Amino acid sequence: MVQLFKLLLVFSFLFSSVSAKENYKAEEIKKLIGRTIILGFDSFSLNTQLKNDIKQYNLGGVILFSKKYKTKKIKNIKNPTQLKALTSSIQNYSDYKMFISIDQEGGKVQRLNKNNGFTSYPSAKEIAKKPENEIKTIYSKLAAELKEYGFNLNFAPVVDLNINKDNYVINKLERSYSKDSKEVSKIAQIFIEEQKKNSIFSVLKHFPGHGSSKADSHKGFVDISNTWNKEELTPYKNLINKDKVDFIMTAHVFNKQLDKNYPATLSYNINTKLLRERLNFKGLIVSDDLQMKAISNHYTLKQTLELAINSGVNILVFGNQLGNTRLETIVNTTYELIKENKIPLSKILESNRLINNLLLTNSI
């Protein structure tokens, strides 16, 4: 009887997947996949490749950088006039709302700064030393500037706790507000609220916590199994419970306390069982850049897509700073996985539902 029940469950899953696929043409499925991708590109203007990605695949969004990671040459942002022309041309070319995204934390991580004609903002460490009214003023100005130049999604604030003083990627770059979870939650909430007033979506990062790490996931494998503690989840809990969170970004960190097999970005245990079910997060889960070496050195593109999407990640980021991955390749590889019944189409449909709901219920 138990065996029969299991067989019925498997049959039901396969039948529903096949039925769902039969309701969509291949090009429709590929456009649904495209909506779940945020892509980096090398250009100062809307180029032919980007136009094709938008029209053929419904590219979900772009991420802009000031400089190329390796050569330090200008990548997307020359000056205010050029940037405004770029973001408006992208949004106007699309017949749907796209995410125009950036990393604008302040300090060492700000793509708009005084060197390219914008305002420079303090690091998280510096912010934490200021009175609350001044913090609010700073983040209000930052958010207003993002809005003025066409952005609607900022990969900030960082809510990692400043646990490991030898941590290069968080502590040394002054990206954490504090080791105190209450202080981190309080300042992050101010940042989120000021961005929301300016129609900017915020992204909490890096789930389930990067502050205790000893290595940089841009460069390779990062294991936080022996340094991570549950207190690192507290800012997420606090802000989710206050209904302040639209996006959470996953970290490419391995933590055997939470998953013995996969890093967080590829982990069903972390993204679905912990974040969705235990913490009751209803928003969008977005990956950190999938070209970072912690992922790309250990998994093929096909493996990465299968694991990330099945883990519960809704939006996949390919910054094209550490690699050069075409949207066509990402979409076609994901489509193959759907045809092979390795990814249920329902995962893509659910991500599209969450994206559309967010855009419909927020004026950006």
The set of residues, in sequence order, having a beta carbon less than 8 Å from that of 99 and lying 6+ positions away, is: 38, 60, 61, 62, 152, 153, 201, 315
Distance CA 314, CA 99 (A): 14
Q: Which residues contact 322 (CB under 8 A, 6 or more apart)?
A: 69, 218, 289, 291, 292, 293, 296
Q: Is the dihedral of CA 290, 118, 167, 154 positive or negative?
A: negative
**Cβ count within 10 A of residue 44:** 15
176 phi and psi angles, rounded to 5 deg: -105, 140
Catalytic residues: 218, 288
Residues 6+ apart with CB under 8 A from 116: 66, 77, 78, 79
Nearest-angstrom CA–CA distance, 30 and 184: 39
Residue 18: which H helix or E strand, with range?
Answer: helix 2-22
Q: How far is CA 71 from CA 66, 227, 288, in A?
A: 12, 34, 21
The answer to whether 209 and 254 are in contact (CB under 8 A) is no
130: phi then psi, degrees, rounded to nearest 5: -95, 155
Asked if 38 and 317 count as a contact pair (C-beta separation under 8 A), the reply is yes
Determine the Cα–Cα distance for residues 354 and 245; give it in Å rounded to an integer.
13
Nearest residue to 259 via CA among 208, 327, 193, 189 = 208
Hey, which bits of the chain come out as E strands?
A: 37-39, 61-63, 99-102, 104-106, 109-110, 153-154, 201-207, 247-250, 284-286, 316-318
Q: Distance from CA of residue 162 to its chain's centroid?
A: 21
